[in-house]
Amino acid sequence: MKRGVIKLISKLITLIGPFISVILLAVVNGVIGYLLAINITLFAGIAILKFLGIAISLSYPLIFTIIILSGILRGIVRYFEQYSNHYIAFKILAILRIKIFRALRHLSLDKLEDKSKGDLVSLLQGDIETLEVFYAHTITPVLIALLTSVVMVIFICLTTSIYLGLYLILAYLIIGVIIPVIFYKVNSKFGRKYRLKMAQFEDFYLDSIYGGYEIIANNKQEMYKKEVTKRSKDLIDVTKKSEMKNNTFMNITNSVIVILNILIIVIGYLLYKNNMILNYEIILAYVVLTSSLGPVLALANLPSNLVQTFASGNRVLDILELKSSIVDGNTNISNVLPITFNKVSFKYDTKYILNNVNLTINKNEIVGILGPSGVGKSTILKLIMRFYDVSSGEVLINDMNIKNISYKSLYDNINLFSQSTYLFHDTILNNLLIAKSDASKEEVIAACQNAGIYDYILAQKEGFNTKISDLKDNISEGEKQRLGLARVFLRKPKLLLLDEATANIDAINEGIILNALKQYSKDMSIIIISHRKSTLSICNKIYEFKEGNLCLV
Ligand SMILES: Nc1ncnc2c1ncn2[C@@H]1O[C@H](COP(=O)(O)OP(=O)(O)OP(=O)(O)O)[C@@H](O)[C@H]1O
Ligand SMILES: [Mg+2]
């Protein structure tokens, strides 16, 4: 979504609501810091004028004491300003990350499916990091520049001439507003393009790492290498162009500053000619005016960062504002059976995958679902896990519409066991305990024995404490699946969903797993999905997809 700059800024600022007091602290310190810096130049100018013979009543020791004190104080307030800025920035980055993770966790699959993995990584790392610039180096500089400028204009109007004050307003506007806005307008498309290219690059790069095996298997290493090189070159080109633009912009700004400085002398001279100011006041005004450009000059540097910052801000807000189409239910249940599909129809996009499906799974039943690839078998399980809501009809869990049931209690009772088991980079024991963290040693051993994996574990060097990474290739798909099954036995779900859980393993391993499951079916119901009839031999009841309809066999 493309938001207007004002809307975007105001939305990003609302996120820092709780830190207003820290921002004020940063701004006050920043303004005082700049005024002290200007003070140093001003009193240095006064010292020179005194040296040149202008009657100035302040003594040299006093003037130098003021200069030294201003320098020390400037250091202290600068420290507090930077401290407050970074305090806000890093707190807000942490909060943003938490918010994004929360948003992602609550988003339904349909909203996340168009976000590729690389895109999400780039969002969580790069974009949020980029926003640091906005929170630590944008908000306060703008406020500081505004306040310091107001103070300086008032000071010049009161001490020298209202005309020089008006000129100062014009100079601040040109350097701090007009040039940066023009630059932002010229460069904003560029920033979005850069972020997009970066995200696409990360996506491609991650993809080629994940797909490393396929790339080698298909002998496409050269092709991928070339593509990665080409994309990095593209990215470097975009970066170079962006740097060139920044440099041009800085050159223009610096040239304008030189012209504005010369104009101060011209205007000062004209005012002096018309007896509106004294001769040495021209010099003081010049010194004050040039040294007061600091804060607005800080603004002039913002757009080169801001273009990217706003692009990142837009992407972060896009995720935060996505509304999940699925709302969590608020009823907690302890019994998920029976499960009934009542005239359920479902479509992912436009094409209906399920039409008027009726299905019942009772307590202690092993139900098989058979059908060719792509017919909608896994979709049925996704509806039971409520990854999606039905398009029409209803899914009833123990006679209650699934929409009313909380995800937590649903997942406390249902376990999905699919084609491949993921093992974390940890010990075998910890990989099992993920299913039940407080399981006793006896429970773990029993679960492994029931899953037919106990002997395998004992045969490893450090038994249950063997690291998965130490197993390297010394673990087969069947062994991984049996570890997955041990997890199921530890968790003891009331309903187990098997989605082609034995599809990748040989008949002997499949037999071990199915037998173990049959033994356990008195304590849990099971749905087995397969396109192999033999897998469903342990079922009490089999449904089959025939011409798009699910029929009881
Ligand atoms: N997220 C999705 N968005 C759009 N279409 C989808 C999505 N997931 C699956 N489909 C489509 O829905 C249909 C049914 O998919 P499903 O995964 O339920 O099939 P399946 O019966 O489990 O097949 P297989 O035996 O190959 O696993 C397929 O045509 C698939 O392309
Ligand atoms: Mg499937």
- CATH 3.40.50.300: which residues of the chain? 339-552
Q: Would you say residue 125 has pLDDT above 80?
A: no
What is the Cα–Cα distance from 408 to 330, expressed in whole angstroms?
10
From the CA of 348, the nearest ligand is 1
Query: Which span out of 65-69, 80-84, 199-203 was modeled with the highest average pLDDT?
Result: 65-69
| Helix ranges, 292-329 (H) | 294-300, 302-321
Q: Is residue 207 pLDDT above 60, yes or no? A: yes
Average the pLDDT over 115-121 and give the result: 60
Q: What confidence score (pLDDT) does residue 102 get?
A: 81
pLDDT (0 to 100) of residue 108: 61
Which residues of the chain form CATH 1.20.1560.10? Answer: 5-321
Per-residue H/E/C for 66-83: HHHHHHHHHHHHHHHHHH
Does the pLDDT at position 115 exceed 60? no
**What's the CA angle centered on 451, arms 450 and 457, to 5 degrees?**
105
Mean pLDDT of the region 62-74: 96
Which CATH superfamily groups domain 5-321?
ABC transporter type 1, transmembrane domain (1.20.1560.10)
State percent of the chain over pLDDT 90. 35
Assign 70 a pLDDT band (cuts: 50, 70, 90): very high
DSSP state of 126: I
Q: What mean pLDDT comes out for the span 124-137? A: 80
Listed range (254-258, 265-269, 310-314) with the worst mean pLDDT = 310-314
Q: Which two tokens stand for residue 185?
A: 């307008």
Higher pLDDT, 520 or 423: 423
Question: Which CATH architecture describes the domain 339-552?
Answer: 3-Layer(aba) Sandwich (3.40)
Mean pLDDT for the chain overall: 86
pLDDT digits (tens, 9 = 90+) for 441-493: 999 999 999 888 999 999 998 999 999 888 877 888 889 988 998 999 999 89
Give the residue, 210 or 195, on which the prediction is more confident. 210
In this structure, which residue's CA is closest to atom 24 in ligand 1? Answer: 373
For residue 387 and ligand 1, the question of a CB distance below 6 A is answered with no
**Lowest mean per-residue pLDDT among 133-147, 341-355, 383-397:** 133-147
Phi-psi region of 329 (alpha: psi -120 to 50; beta: other; left: phi over 0): beta
Distance CA 363, CA 344 (A): 21
499 C-alpha vs ligand 1 centroid, how far in Å? 12
Q: Whose CA is nearest to atom 10 of ligand 1?
A: 348
Query: Where is pLDDT greater, at 508 or 230?
Result: 230
To test the pocket of ligand 1, the residue of 353, 357, 529, 533 to mutate (highest count of ligand atoms within 8 Å of its CB) is 353
Residue nearest to atom 31 of ligand 1 (CA): 374
Q: What per-residue confidence (pLDDT) applies to 294?
A: 82
* Ligand 1 binding pocket includes 353 (Cβ within 6 Å): yes
Q: Looking at residues 83-91, what average pLDDT do you find?
A: 85
- Is pLDDT of 109 > 80? no
**C-alpha to C-alpha distances, 532 to 18, 243, 382, nearest whole angstrom:** 59, 60, 20
pLDDT for 394: 95
Reported as a pLDDT band with limits 50, 70 and 90, residue 346 is: very high
Which residues have CB atoms below 5 A from the ion given as ligand 2?
378
Q: Does the C-beta of 378 come closer than 6 Å to ligand 1?
A: yes
pLDDT of residue 117: 53
> What span, in angstroms and rounded, lies between the C-alpha atoms of 267 and 162?
12
Tell me the per-residue pLDDT of 396-438, one tens digit each, with 9 for 90 and over. Answer: 999 999 999 998 899 889 998 888 888 898 999 999 999 999 9
In angstroms, the CA 179 to CA 173 distance is 9
Q: Is the CB of 113 under 6 A from ligand 1?
A: yes
Cα 478 to ligand 2 centroid, rounded to whole Å: 19
Only one residue has tokens 């992912």, namely: 348
Residue whose CA is closest, atom 25 of ligand 1?
A: 373
The CA distance from 22 to 85, in Å, is 8
Q: What is the pLDDT of residues 310-327, one digit of tens each?
A: 888 888 888 788 777 788
Measure 368 CA to ligand 2 centroid, in angstroms: 13
pLDDT at 138 (0 to 100): 82
Amino acid sitting at position 270 = L
